[in-house]
């Protein structure tokens, strides 16, 4: 061995004396001179590129090369690793360095320990300064990083890169089960919700286009397409009929695809939706390929150890698509836990409605599974659903009142599944589920009350103004009355009849909406009122107010026509255009709230349709 005695502050020196076929045993002796080494530095014996073996007496690093380093006693792991890369001439892009040491601790058979952080390194420096314990360095070929870098940077275009990951898994199956920095490939995929259909928010129009847009069958294949030649048919006629139908279906599909290619796919918005659909389907295909490889190479215990974390992550992220793929291959993952909670408890704690629906429609004994779920604090599933939802889930609803309604819907839905008897059970704090709910949602209830009152107060002023206007218009007939008969001069005109009817409708509906908003202001605001009572009053009040505004504008337009439009039909066009402005403004500003209220109150709620959790991969896919 050769040593270097030249040191400087925070500097590490290595000299390249080499001994091939050297067995560097733990506890090796040093013959170097330490007189010129300062007290804040330490000598480190380095052995690299060897192989650990046990000779029934002690561990040794066989066939290694050796050098000596002089390092500051407070050197960090990053610093010493960086110098080792440089001095040992190791390519960082292709290899990583693994630093290991064997502590005797009174037992030669004590296992080899890897240095993973600064604390581990500090302990080693302290020990080696006294015992001359060698630092054993191994360079490990990082196949995953190297292959991915070569493939991704090989000049493929953007469309091609979408399938690079899948090609890597096919070409290097071991990558599917690689653990890199304590994370599996599944962890990396599931942590990106935008790769899945369920993790992307689309409008109604976009969802419709997404479902019908055709894509190349390069993501999932067509599992539903039967091989006609291999089917058993009882007679030739049936065979011909089935074959003909398939040919017609294929021909029509190709025609549709060509139509999309030549026209609609050139629309930027539709092209983006198509790209999203390809991405989502490719992700599902990649997940399936990874699970196939893991199922082939791993034992049940390995799968539970490696994939419990991404499975729980899929539950927390409300990713029913990933859950469907994982449970198809690894049904045992249903027993996974995180922070002491099983997947049923994680589902309600994180308000994962898609996962809840998936479990509900696929579980064999879902009521029993939910009923027996009790955590360490004695909380049953209803106690947990009584806890406040995560902030990002609350913010999905507009306003504190709708957030409170959503929380109540969750509580009522889970209560329906587990049974009413669970509502009387006590946890370790002697609380029932409803007591937990009220305690956790006290602030949200107050915020919901304030939001409801402010909203109703604003609409009350609007309704009162409309009542004043239309009532005054009703007693002042446009065009005046006949002095002899007292009847309206234009009583036979259709425009006057339209005015009278519209004005009456506006008066009655605005009065009704005013009373509804007043009832909201005087409500008791109990927790259960936010479920149906208060939202229904707000819905009816908004509908009446919308009808009132529309009728008022129609009445005003009819008045203008009576006064200035006799014999001038063209005046109807500017009047109608101007009358649409306030109506359009009202619809644009207030109609989204009305739609959300109706959807939240009268929609499917937590228990959605079974098709809500289906894979995007099962959408329409055409071959071309």
Percentage of the chain modeled with pLDDT above 70: 71
**Residue range 9-31: average pLDDT?**
41
Q: How far is 334 from 317, CA to CA, in rounded Å?
A: 16
Percentage of the chain modeled with pLDDT above 90: 19
Predicted confidence band of residue 108 (pLDDT cuts 50, 70, 90): low
Instruction: Note whether 61 and 47 are within 8 A (CB).
Output: yes
Instruction: List the single range of 375-389, 543-557, 569-583 with lowest mean pLDDT.
Output: 569-583
**Residue range 83-102: average pLDDT?**
79
Q: How many CA atoms lie within 13 A of 397 on its CB side?
A: 25
Write the pLDDT tens digit of every residue in 199-216. Answer: 888 888 888 888 877 776
Average pLDDT, the chain: 76
| Sign of the four-CA dihedral 259, 265, 269, 271 | positive
Q: Where are the domains positioned within the chain?
A: 41-141, 143-217+247-336, 453-602
Write the pLDDT tens digit of every residue in 519-565. Answer: 999 999 999 999 999 999 999 999 999 999 999 988 888 888 777 76
The answer to whether 41-141 and 453-602 have equal CATH topology is no
For the whole model, what pTM was predicted? Answer: 0.65
Asked whether residue 283 carries a pLDDT value surpassing 90, the answer given is: no
Instruction: Note whether 519 and 537 are within 8 A (CB).
Output: yes
Q: Looking at domain 453-602, does it have CATH number 1.10.10?
A: no
Q: Please tell me which of 75-89, 266-280, 398-412, 597-611 the model is most confident about, judged by mean pLDDT.
A: 398-412
268 conformational bin, left if phi > 0, alpha if psi -120 to 50, beta if neither: alpha
Instruction: Note whether 479 and 496 are within 8 A (CB).
Output: yes
Write the pLDDT tens digit of every residue in 350-362. Answer: 999 899 888 888 7
CA distances from 567 to 152, 164, 224, 559, 571 (A): 74, 72, 67, 14, 9
The three-state secondary structure class of 340 is coil
pLDDT at 486: 63
Instruction: Note whether 274 and 265 are within 8 A (CB).
Output: yes
**Contacts (Cβ under 8 Å, ≥6 apart) of 218:** 163, 278, 282
Fold entry, domain 41-141: Ubiquitin-like (UB roll) (3.10.20)
**Residue range 5-13: average pLDDT?**
36
């Amino acid at each position: 061995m050769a040593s270097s005695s030249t040191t400087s502050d925070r500097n590490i020196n290595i000299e390249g004396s080499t001994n091939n076929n050297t067995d560097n045993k733990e506890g090796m002796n040093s013959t170097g001179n330490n007189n010129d080494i300062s007290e804040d530095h330490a000598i480190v014996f380095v052995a690299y590129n060897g192989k650990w073996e046990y000779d029934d007496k002690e561990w040794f690093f066989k066939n290694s090369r050796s050098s000596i380093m002089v390092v500051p006693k407070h050197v960090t792991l990053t610093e010493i690793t960086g110098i080792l890369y440089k001095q040992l001439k190791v390519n960082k892009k292709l290899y990583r360095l693994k630093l290991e040491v064997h502590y005797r601790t009174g037992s030669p058979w004590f296992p080899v320990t890897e240095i993973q952080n600064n604390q581990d390194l500090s302990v080693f420096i302290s020990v080696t300064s006294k015992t001359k314990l060698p630092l054993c360095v191994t360079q490990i070929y990082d196949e995953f990083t190297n292959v991915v870098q070569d493939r991704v940077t090989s000049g493929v275009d953007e469309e091609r890169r979408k399938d690079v990951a899948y090609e890597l898994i096919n070409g290097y199956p071991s990558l599917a089960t690689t653990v890199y920095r304590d994370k599996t490939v599944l962890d990396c995929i599931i942590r990106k919700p935008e790769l899945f259909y369920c993790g992307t928010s689309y409008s109604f129009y976009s969802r419709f286009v997404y479902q019908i847009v055709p894509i190349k069958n390069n993501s999932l294949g067509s599992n539903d397409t039967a091989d006609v030649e291999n089917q058993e048919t009882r007679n030739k006629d049936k065979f011909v009929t089935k074959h003909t139908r398939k040919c017609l279906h294929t021909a029509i599909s190709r025609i549709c695809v060509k139509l999309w290619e030549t026209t609609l796919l050139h629309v930027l918005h539709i092209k983006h939706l198509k790209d999203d659909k390809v991405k989502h389907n490719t992700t599902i295909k990649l997940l399936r390929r990874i699970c196939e490889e893991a199922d082939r190479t791993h034992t049940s215990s390995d799968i539970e150890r490696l994939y419990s974390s991404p499975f729980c992550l899929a539950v927390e992220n409300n990713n029913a698509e990933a859950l469907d793929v994982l449970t198809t291959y690894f049904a045992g993952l249903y027993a996974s836990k995180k922070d002491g909670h099983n997947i049923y408890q994680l589902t309600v704690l994180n308000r994962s409605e898609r996962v809840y629906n998936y479990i509900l429609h696929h579980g064999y004994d879902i009521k029993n599974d939910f009923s027996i779920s009790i955590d360490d604090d004695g909380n049953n599933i209803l106690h947990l659903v009584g806890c406040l939802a995560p902030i990002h889930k609350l913010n999905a609803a507009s306003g504190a009142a709708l957030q409170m309604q959503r929380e109540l819907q969750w509580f009522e839905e889970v209560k329906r599944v587990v049974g009413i008897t669970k509502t009387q059970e006590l946890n370790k704090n002697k609380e029932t589920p409803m007591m937990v709910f009220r305690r956790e949602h006290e602030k949200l209830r107050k915020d919901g009350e304030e939001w409801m009152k402010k909203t109703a107060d604003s609409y009350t002023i609007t309704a009162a103004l409309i009542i004043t206007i239309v009532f005054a218009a009703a007693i002042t007939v446009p065009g005046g009355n006949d002095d002899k008969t007292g009847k309206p001069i234009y009583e036979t005109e259709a425009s006057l009849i339209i005015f009278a009817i519209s004005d009456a409708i506006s008066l009655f509906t605005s009065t009704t909406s005013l009373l509804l908003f007043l009832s909201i202001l005087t409500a008791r605001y109990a927790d259960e009122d936010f479920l149906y009572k208060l939202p229904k009053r707000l819905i009816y009040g908004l509908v009446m107010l919308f009808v009132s505004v529309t009728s008022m504008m129609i009445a005003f337009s009819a008045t203008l026509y009576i006064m200035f439009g006799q014999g001038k039909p063209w005046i109807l066009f500017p009047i109608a255009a101007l009358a649409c402005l306030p109506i359009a403004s009202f619809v644009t500003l207030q109609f989204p709230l009305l739609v959300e209220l109706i959807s939240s109150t009268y929609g499917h709620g937590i228990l959605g349709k079974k098709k809500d959790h289906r894979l995007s991969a099962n959408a329409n896919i055409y071959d071309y």
